[in-house]
């Protein structure tokens, strides 16, 4: 993503919680705090940065319709935000609102169109970065494997995220990464066989990415951001979508990798090899 998003930004350490007037309970010092939201706009995409203390490492998102929105839920205990409406606008985004609940914070991006690519999430020491490509401005054929968002049935404002209520959804029970001589191996353990999967790469982003989509409805009970010990992978992120589960590997090398996928029962293995070097 580059350092341009963080230049000149200052983060203020959270002070100890003071005793509030009235009948409200006192938040523990461990409660998370949303420090602010900023927008970086570009001709073909835009980036929203959620500045938080501590960094955000868990999130779920959905696409309520009527009107089109992107709702991002941050589970956990949050301090009540000082600001609930951000007038951040471009040709795709109208504004961002923030709602506070006992078990989560919800940020809602109010969109001017439902034609956008699925968002990509990047964790940082400052918070969470969300990049969205503007599909309605894309004039050529869509890149292989890239999906345009699909609106979900609308939710009540205070309802829990839809993904957490889908009892029929499959479950990602384990995820691991191990090094190979010229790359790495990603192993997914599932509680049922997958109906299908697809992969694609995004080599021109920083860091480059390998994306795996599992077809069907899936849940991810573990962390959204997985730190791994590998020379080839910086981190792995898992996102729940209405029709698939997306696993994104941030690669620690440039170029187009060679990917071999093998599904055996409830296990899916991806062997990712670095591009061969010219002699």
CATH number at residue 142: 2.60.40.3500
Distance, CA of 168 to CA of 218 (rounded, Å): 9
Percentage of the chain exceeding pLDDT 90: 37
* Residue 255 pLDDT: 87
24 with 153, same domain? Answer: yes
* Residue 83 pLDDT: 95
Distance, CA of 183 to CA of 94 (rounded, Å): 42
* φ and ψ at residue 32, rounded to 5 degrees: -80, 160
* Residue 247 pLDDT: 92
Tens-place pLDDT, residues 95-120: 999 999 999 999 999 998 877 777 88
Cβ neighbour number for residue 93 with a 10 Å cutoff: 22
Tens-place pLDDT, residues 163-198: 444 457 899 999 999 999 899 999 999 999 988 899
49 with 185, same domain? Answer: no
59 with 133, same domain? Answer: yes
* Residue 270 pLDDT: 94
Q: Where in the sequence is the domain holding 258, given as residue range(s)?
A: 166-273
Cβ neighbour number for residue 45 with a 10 Å cutoff: 17
Report the predicted TM-score, pTM, of the whole model to 2 decimal places. 0.59
Is 154 exposed, middle or buried, given 0-12, 13-18 or 19+ CB atoms closer than 10 A? middle
Residues of the chain with pLDDT below 70 are 1-29, 136-167, 277-279
**Six token digits for residue 86:** 């951000």
63 with 134, same domain? Answer: yes
- C-alpha closest to that of 189 among 229, 221, 162, 235: 221
* Residue 233 pLDDT: 93
* Residue 94 pLDDT: 95
* Residue 140 pLDDT: 62
144 with 263, same domain? Answer: no
152 with 214, same domain? Answer: no
**Six token digits for residue 19:** 């005793």
* Residue 1 pLDDT: 43
Residue that terminates a domain, selected from 110, 135, 162? 162
Residue that terminates a domain, selected from 162, 197, 232? 162
């Amino acid at each position: 993503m580059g350092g341009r998003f963080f230049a000149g930004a200052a983060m203020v350490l959270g002070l100890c919680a003071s005793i509030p007037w009235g009948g409200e309970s006192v938040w523990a010092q461990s409660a998370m705090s949303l420090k602010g939201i900023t927008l970086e706009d570009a001709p073909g995409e835009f980036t929203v940065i959620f500045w938080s203390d501590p960094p955000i490492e868990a999130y779920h998102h959905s696409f309520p319709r009527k009107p089109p929105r992107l709702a991002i839920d941050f589970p956990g205990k949050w301090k009540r935000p000082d600001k609930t409406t951000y007038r951040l606008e471009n040709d795709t985004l109208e504004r961002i609102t923030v709602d506070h609940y006992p078990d989560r914070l919800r940020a809602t991006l109010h969109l001017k169109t439902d034609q956008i690519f699925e968002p990509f999430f990047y964790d940082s020491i400052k918070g969470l970065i969300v990049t969205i490509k503007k599909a309605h401005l894309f004039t050529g054929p869509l890149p292989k494997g890239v999906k345009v968002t699909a609106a979900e049935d609308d939710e009540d404002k205070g309802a829990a995220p839809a993904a957490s209520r889908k009892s029929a959804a499959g479950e990602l029970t384990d995820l691991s990464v191990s090094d190979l001589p010229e790359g790495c191996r990603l192993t997914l353990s599932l509680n049922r066989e997958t109906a299908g999967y697809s992969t694609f790469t995004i080599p021109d982003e920083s860091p480059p990415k390998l994306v795996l989509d599992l077809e069907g409805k899936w849940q991810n009970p573990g962390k959204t951001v997985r730190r791994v010990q590998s020379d080839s992978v910086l981190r792995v992120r898992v996102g729940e979508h209405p029709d698939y589960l997306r696993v994104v590997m941030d690669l620690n090398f440039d170029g187009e990798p060679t990917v071999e996928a093998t599904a055996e029962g409830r296990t899916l293995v991806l062997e990712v090899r670095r591009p061969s070097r010219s002699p």
